[in-house]
Structure 1
């Protein structure tokens, strides 16, 4: 029995060691305006590269108005985090919805819901947590989502949002515990431009534990 436990411990240690932390700092300044490069994998919607406030950005276009998303970086096999600087616009009473996600299309999403004046943690069709959040049209905001594995099957999901010209909050606005995650899949950006105006994403920072690339 002791040998079996030792073998299992060594296997777990080797599996953990095999994962590599990979980071990506994504800006669009070196990309040509128009169609996105291969680094931006469009899942749904119309996504392009365009300029805003003197800098290029990844833009989710409102034509058509849909839950648009694009995946970035490499697929996680463990912890994952994404931070993005985002600008969205209201028109009349119509407001957008936008945010970021980890662990693929079925993973957790952190969404600024301007119509509800809230910051929501969503998975699938379920809102897991929601806190008040004051969003301002045409002002850059930062959104950050992290998923960290604890002991056993425990995962902690945390989310923050703050004005881009302010300091990052020390504590998360949202914290959620989960025990049913695979911890696999790419990080992504999301937007539903209900207002008919584009949503801009820039200065995207991704950090994932991933399996090493094949030789």
Structure 2
């Protein structure tokens, strides 16, 4: 085959392979991490931890009650609260660092940031409601106002096979997990990290198209070479 015609065939083969990869294979390729993690999802005893950032205005008792009654529930724990105020100057930053631990004896672990965020870690058996009430009472006494918003951090542990069910419940309350950890998520992340970027995958399918085209063009030559090779091997054995 003339070189120009061969080049045209290879270009067309690449385009067909790339287009086929982009429209038919890429959607399947993208679902590979989900398919692989499905195995871990159905292993008995596997657990996933969902990390939640909840508005303090949410009815926490109602949410806890609904979650605990759902099959696959293991535990729900409030771990901390974040109270955004205003951007502190150096004096205010030092003041809140000094005073925060004195507002409530349960504020043993906390962090104050320069942008005005008070991050309080909750002790076991100490609820976000109690922590926020202590701060609200102090804030009203000192500043004569009330805090307008706070965020509650929680950890929800569920069986791996029930994750989607709990995500749907959380969505009904306007909550999206900020992070998830466990065998299913770990498998998903590991598989996803090994995949080629979509653009490279399309290029790879185009390259496969070129290889197939080359094999088709030179199939007869390959066949002749194979027959000659087999014949020579048989002759060597006879000797």
TM-score (norm 1): 0.26
Q: Which protein is richer in helix relative to its size?
A: 2
Q: Relative contact order (C-alpha < 8 Å, sep 6+): which is higher? A: 2
TM-score (norm 2): 0.24
Q: Which protein is richer in strand relative to its size?
A: 1
